């Protein structure tokens, strides 16, 4: 039979497409349940001078209004430092920060009351910090500086035949999950609290709710059936709605539900971090890097959240796919008066990898060669030149083969020549093509998080329930775990059900994040299943042994296959699995087990910047072709080719969906998704009308996606590899292709990310030339003008 390796349908697919899969907003509550919502700060910083709720309390249907002082326990929370209040406490730090929470009988009463709350802020003469540059100027940081170093990079750069330096900028990105932040809370017996949360981290919700109510974790249960998307945005940011719902439920004794509106969600929650990367590189005439110095500054927002961990992963991915003989990588999280920025698919990796790809393109531009030549010159080797700046060996490295295979399959070189020829004659369109690799480390960089647990129960009718700490957000983790467990017992997937995630059944869980949820929870489920299977096999061996037939007691001869149990020496005598489990129960065989898995061999010393933070690497590459309208800056992506090593796929259908979606999400980040704020720190792009994510019409019409044939990841569950985050970084190939297109008209050296139409026009037509309607003239391949003399942000020393 075998389920692993087959494109089994997502276990909630029917519910998703028919609209019957329930989310937080759909759950039926008691008739006296309350609706809750918050009122946020109107200013980016200042002392709270006055909160006037008199008129709001007078609204018919308003039950209660609470502020920070109403929490019976701790109003503050945070994964690293408890520096973020659920409700603003004495001061506000960003526009939209929750200040009061209102509980009402109906949504209409809630919305009317929200409009009648007055919050006065006294900012004095303090100006908000609204950029990384302002934070650096005012010396405002979160956490401590970080460094990863190997050798003397400064000396290597100084001694190199060629040197370049520059600054890379990228903006943040909104997670744009379809289900907004949401939670339900209702009181249980003896002061207990039950919370249904749209969260990636049920244990963290259990912990912060307990602490906010002045209770212990045994008094709180967190439940999560599914999320309508998350992408990292519900790893820590689900805490505030859960705490607010629990506060209302605790104070009123009634169930409470809070669901953010899309505008409030976008305005008040953290996003992917914006980055500023100052770099200097030394290299030889062939483009081989001798040394790299990089100073990374991230926009952490107004509280630490996960910013230190995000920055750390950025620094661990500055190398991307390339060997750096010497490197000095420094990092600092900047404080700004924006919502605390947080996890987003890739978790700091995309910003670092984009910066590194821009550096390699600068080297290629300086040498007047194809960037692919520089990439191949510097790519990690097999058996040599294969140690990262933090000291981890890149084992089972397939990067050289992936690059060469993809270049051949995509006809990269031939298409590059054809595009160059077209650009010399076409005055309407400008084209570019680029190849971008990715090497993404899989594991949490915090060691203790690399653990998972599962509970497997086999019932006497031969059906199975599985509970794990993983949370389902559409990525298919439950479907994969279902396949893994079904295969252990030789059953079809229909006989296995994944249960709701609950801290009542699975304690002390790690967040469903870091692309590791199947690795951790799937492995734990397999361990639990094998415990039960061992008991069943032993029981079957005793039952099937026969002196008459000459069958000695032989557990190793027992087979569980196609829903039957039999001895391979006598396959004609088969017992249906349900009947077999029925009999096993009556013979008092334990049909339940708990499994625990801890990732082996991962350990990283933050003090020294050395160690093995990752269990393995997912590797891949993409070739993207772009077409730019020379008059409008409008961008099209007519073709992409992807090749990615995800080991032995547990579910190719789910994995190809993740790869495709991840690439498109990455493409959106680098081309269209632009977070715009005004001078007071107000988010202007706070809804689908002003924040543009890729639509179905933006999907490249030619989209070739292939899996690299590889099953050498034997240490991981089913020889698979993580697939959630790495594909997003393949979208950087689109941005690189834009750089290559702009290079044809002597532009693009300081191309910022995202490369919107406005940014492309800024590159093609500098301020002094914007008023001219004539498109930028094509540049022949023999033109050695400005291309060899980059501007001040990227210059040869």
Q: Mind listing the pLDDT tens digit for each residue in 721-740?
A: 999 999 999 999 999 999 99
> From CA 65, how far away is CA 697, in angstroms rounded?
45
| Residue 135 belongs to some domain of the structure | no
Please state whether 738 falls in left (phi above 0), alpha (psi between -120 and 50) or beta.
alpha
Nearest to 751 by CA among 440, 437, 432: 432
Q: Please state whether the peptide bond connecting residue 192 to the residue before it is cis, i.e. omega within 30 degrees of 0.
A: no
Tens digit of each residue's pLDDT (9 = 90 or more) over 276-305? 999 999 999 999 999 999 999 999 999 999
Confidence tier at 773 by pLDDT (50, 70, 90): very low
Pairing of strands 464-468, 256-259: unpaired
Q: What is the distance between the alpha carbons of residues 156 and 175, in angstroms, rounded to a whole number?
A: 40
Edge-first strand listing for the sheet containing 91-92: 91-92, 46-52, 118-122
Residue 288's pLDDT is: 99
Residue 142 lies in a domain: no
pLDDT at 771 over 90: no
- Rounded-to-integer distance, Cα 266 and Cα 262, Å: 6
**Cβ neighbourhood burial of 475 (10 Å; 0-12, 13-18, 19+):** buried
Q: How many domains does the chain have?
A: 3
Distance between CA atoms of 585 and 535, rounded to whole angstroms? Answer: 11
pLDDT at 176: 98
Distance CA 729, CA 351 (A): 9
3-state secondary structure 758-785: HHHHHHHCCHHHCCCCCCCCCCCCCCCC
pLDDT tens by residue, 167-190: 999 999 999 999 999 999 999 999
Residue 725 is among the residues annotated as catalytic for this protein: yes
Q: Which of 567, 598, 629 is the last residue of a domain?
A: 598
CA–CA separation, 493 and 563 (whole Å): 11
Same domain, 305 and 431: yes
Helix or strand (DSSP H, E) at 592: strand 592-598
Calpha distance 326→154 (Å, rounded): 9
Using CA atoms, how far apart are residues 440 and 312, in angstroms rounded to an integer? 13
Residues in the chain: 797
With CA atoms as reference, report the closest residue to 455 among 524, 533, 537, 536.
Answer: 524
Same domain, 716 and 763: yes
Cβ proximity of 755 and 373 under 8 Å: no
**To 10 degrees, the CA torsion angle through 149, 154, 158, 163?**
70
The structure tokens listed for 304 are: 């630490």
H/E segment holding residue 374: helix 371-378
Q: What is the pLDDT of residue 785?
A: 34
Which residue range(s) make up the domain with 590?
A: 451-598
Which pLDDT score is estimated for 767? 65
Residue 11 covered by a domain: no
Q: pLDDT averaged over the chain?
A: 95
* Final residue before a domain boundary, out of 268, 297, 330: 268
Last residue within a domain, chosen from 578, 598, 618: 598
Q: Is 387 found in the same domain as 405? A: yes
Same domain, 263 and 308: no
**Token pair of 441 as six digits:** 């480390």
Q: Which of 465, 395, 406 is nearest to 436 (CA)?
A: 406
Comparing 768 with 371, the larger pLDDT belongs to 371
The string of DSSP letters for 162-220 reads EEEEEEEEE--B----SSPSEEEEEE-GGG-EEEEE--S-HHHHHHHHHHHTT--GGGE
Is the pLDDT at 780 greater than 90, yes or no? no
Does residue 774 have a pLDDT over 80? no
Average pLDDT of the segment spanning 586-601: 98
For the record, the structure tokens of 739 come out as: 């750089």
Predicted TM-score (pTM) above 0.85: yes
Residue pLDDT, tens place only, 361-379: 999 999 999 999 999 999 9
pLDDT at 429 over 60: yes
pLDDT above 70 covers what percent of the chain? 96
- Tokens for 12? 């909630």
Judgement on whether residues 774 and 652 belong to the same structural domain of the protein: yes
**Claim to verify: residue 660 and residue 784 sit in the same structural domain:** yes
Going through 632-777 in order, the beta strands assigned E by DSSP cover 635-645, 702-707
Band of the pLDDT at 793, cuts 50, 70, 90?
A: very low
Q: Which pLDDT does position 347 carry in this prediction?
A: 99
Where residue 784 falls among pLDDT bands split at 50, 70, 90?
A: very low
pLDDT at 70 over 80: yes
Average pLDDT over residues 3-23: 95
**Does residue 775 surpass a pLDDT of 50?**
no
- CA nearest neighbour of 136 among 331, 368, 342: 331
Flag whether 210 is in a domain: yes
Q: For 134-175, how does the pLDDT look when each residue is reduced to its tens digit (9 = 90+)?
A: 999 999 999 999 999 999 999 999 999 999 999 999 999 999
Tokens 């908000």 -> residue: 128
Taking the C-alpha atoms of residue 781 and residue 368, their distance in angstroms, rounded to an integer, is 9
- What integer pLDDT is reported at residue 709 of this predicted model? 85
Answer whether residue 26 is part of any domain.
no
Examine the pLDDT at 123 and tell me if it is beyond 60: yes
Q: Is there a domain that residue 107 lies in?
A: yes
User: What spatial distance separates the first Cα and last Cα of the chain, rounded to whole Å?
Assistant: 64
Give the integer Cα–Cα distance in Å for 135 and 273. 14
Half-sphere exposure (Cβ direction) of 414: Cα atoms closer than 13 Å: 5
Domain identity same for 435 and 456: no
Structural domain contains residue 22 = no
Residues 667 and 769 in one domain: yes
pLDDT single digits (tens) 80-113? 999 999 999 999 999 999 999 999 999 999 999 9
Which pLDDT band, with edges at 50, 70 and 90, does 711 fall under? confident
Q: Could you tell me the CATH number of the domain that includes residue 612?
A: 3.30.365.10
pLDDT digits 0-9 by tens, 444-495: 999 999 999 999 999 999 999 999 999 999 999 999 999 999 999 999 999 9
Asked whether residue 225 falls in the same domain as residue 242, the answer is: yes
> What's the rounded Cα separation, in Å, for the pair 10 and 553?
40
Per the residue annotation, which of 174, 357, 725, 759 is the catalytic one? 725
Closest CA to 508 of 183, 246, 235, 202: 202
pLDDT tier for residue 547 given thresholds of 50, 70 and 90:
confident
Residue 197 vs residues 6, 234, 681: alpha-carbon distances, Å:
32, 10, 29
82 assigned to some structural domain: yes
Most confident of 11-20, 131-140, 760-769: 131-140
Q: In 351-444, at which residue ranges do the beta strands (DSSP E only) sit?
A: 429-442
Helix boundaries (H) for 461-507: 477-488
Question: Quick one: 319 and 419 in the same domain?
Answer: yes
Q: Please, what sign has the CA dihedral across residues 661, 665, 671, 674?
A: positive
pLDDT of 608-634, one tens digit each?
999 999 999 999 999 999 999 999 999
Integer Cα distance of 695 and 673 in angstroms: 12
Q: Given phi > 0 = left and psi -120 to 50 = alpha, else beta, which region is 385? A: left
Shared-domain flag, residues 593 and 722:
no
Checking if the pLDDT of 782 tops 70, the result is: no
Q: Has residue 48 got a pLDDT over 50?
A: yes
- For residue 331, the cross-strand partners are 146, 296
Which two three-digit tokens encode residue 277? 């990367």
Give yes or no: residues 518 and 571 share one domain: yes
Is there a contact between 31 and 94 (Cβ–Cβ < 8 Å)? no
SS3 409: helix
């Amino acid at each position: 039979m075998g389920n692993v390796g087959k494109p089994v349908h997502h276990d909630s697919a029917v519910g998703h497409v028919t609209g019957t899969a329930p989310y937080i907003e759909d759950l039926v509550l008691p008739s006296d349940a309350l609706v809750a919502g918050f009122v946020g700060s109107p200013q980016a910083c200042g002392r709270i001078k006055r909160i006037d709720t008199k008129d709001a309390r007078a609204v018919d249907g308003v039950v209660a209004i609470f502020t920070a002082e109403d929490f019976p326990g701790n109003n503050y929370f945070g994964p690293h430092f408890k520096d973020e209040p659920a409700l603003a406490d004495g001061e506000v730090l960003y526009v939209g920060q929750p200040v009061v929470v209102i509980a009402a009988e109906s949504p209409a009463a809630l919305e009317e009351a929200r409009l009648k709350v007055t919050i006065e802020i006294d900012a004095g003469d303090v100006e908000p910090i609204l950029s990384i540059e302002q934070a650096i100027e005012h010396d405002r940081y979160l956490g401590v500086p970080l460094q990863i170093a190997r050798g003397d990079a400064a000396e290597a750069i100084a001694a190199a035949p060629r040197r370049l330096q520059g600054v890379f900028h990228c903006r943040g990105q909104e997670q744009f999950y379809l289900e907004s932040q949401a939670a339900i809370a209702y009181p249980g017996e003896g002061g207990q609290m039950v919370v249904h949360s749209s969260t990636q981290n049920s244990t963290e919700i259990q912990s912060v709710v307990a602490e906010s109510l002045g209770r212990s974790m045994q008094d709180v249960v967190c439940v999560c059936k599914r999320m309508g998307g998350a992408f990292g945005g519900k790893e820590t940011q689900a805490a505030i709605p859960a705490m607010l719902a629990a506060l209302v439920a605790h104070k009123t004794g009634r169930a409470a539900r809070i669901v953010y509106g899309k505008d409030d969600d976008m305005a008040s929650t953290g996003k992917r971090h914006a980055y500023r990367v100052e770099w200097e590189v030394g290299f030889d005439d062939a483009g081989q890097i001798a040394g790299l110095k990089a100073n990374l500054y991230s926009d952490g927002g107004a509280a630490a959240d996960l910013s230190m961990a995000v920055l750390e992963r950025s620094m661990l991915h500055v190398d991307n796919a390339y060997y750096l003989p010497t490197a000095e990588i420094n990092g600092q999280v900047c404080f700004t008066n924006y919502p605390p920025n947080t996890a987003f698919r890739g978790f700091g990796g995309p910003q670092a990898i984009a910066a590194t790809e821009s550096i390699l393109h600068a080297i290629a531009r300086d040498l007047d060669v194809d960037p692919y030549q520089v990439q191949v010159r510097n790519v990690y080797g097999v058996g040599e030149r294969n140690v990262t700046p933090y000291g981890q060996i890149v084992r089972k490295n397939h990067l050289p083969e992936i690059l060469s295979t993809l270049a051949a399959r995509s006809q990269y070189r031939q298409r590059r020549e054809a595009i160059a020829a077209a650009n010399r004659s076409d005055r309407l369109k400008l084209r570019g093509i680029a190849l971008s690799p990715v090497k993404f480390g899989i594991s949490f960089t915090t060691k203790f998080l690399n653990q998972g647990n599962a509970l497997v129960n086999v019932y006497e009718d031969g059906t199975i329930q599985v509970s794990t700490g993983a949370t389902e957000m559409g990525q298919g983790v439950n479907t994969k775990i279902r396949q893994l467990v079904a295969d252990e017992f030789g059953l079809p997937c229909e006989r296995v059900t994944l249960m709701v995630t609950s801290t009542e059944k699975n304690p002390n869980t790690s967040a469903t994040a870091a692309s590791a949820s199947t690795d951790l929870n799937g492995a734990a489920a397999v361990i639990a299943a094998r415990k039960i299977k061992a008991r069943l096999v032993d029981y079957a061996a005793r039952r099937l042994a026969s002196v008459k037939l000459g069958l000695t007691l032989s557990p190793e001869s027992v087979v569980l296959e196609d829903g039957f149990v039999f001895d391979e020496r006598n396959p004609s005598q088969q017992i249906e699995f349900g009947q077999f489990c029925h009999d096993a129960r009556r013979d008092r065989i334990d049909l339940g087990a708990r499994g625990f898995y801890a990732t082996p061999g991962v350990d990283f010393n933050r003090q020294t910047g050395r160690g093995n933070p990752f269990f393995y690497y997912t590797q891949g590459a993409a070739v993207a072709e772009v077409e730019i309208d020379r008059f409008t800056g409008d961008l099209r992506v007519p073709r992409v080719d992807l090749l990615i090593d995800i080991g032995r796929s547990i579910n190719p259908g789910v994995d190809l969906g993740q790869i495709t979606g991840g690439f498109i999400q990455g493409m959106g980040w680098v081309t269209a998704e632009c977070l715009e704020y005004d001078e007071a720190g107000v988010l202007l792009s706070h809804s689908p009308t002003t924040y543009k994510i890729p639509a179905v019409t933006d999907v490249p019409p030619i989209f070739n996606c292939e899996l690299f044939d590889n099953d050498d990841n034997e240490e991981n569950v089913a020889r698979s590899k993580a697939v959630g985050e790495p594909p997003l970084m393949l979208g950087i190939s689109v941005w690189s292709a834009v750089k290559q297109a702009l290079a044809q008209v002597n532009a693009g050296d300081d191309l910022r990310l995202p490369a919107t139409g406005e940014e492309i026009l800024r590159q093609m037509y500098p301020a002094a030339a914007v008023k001219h309607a004539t498109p930028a003239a094509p540049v022949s391949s023999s033109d050695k003008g400005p291309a060899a003399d980059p501007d001040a942000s990227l210059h040869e020393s």
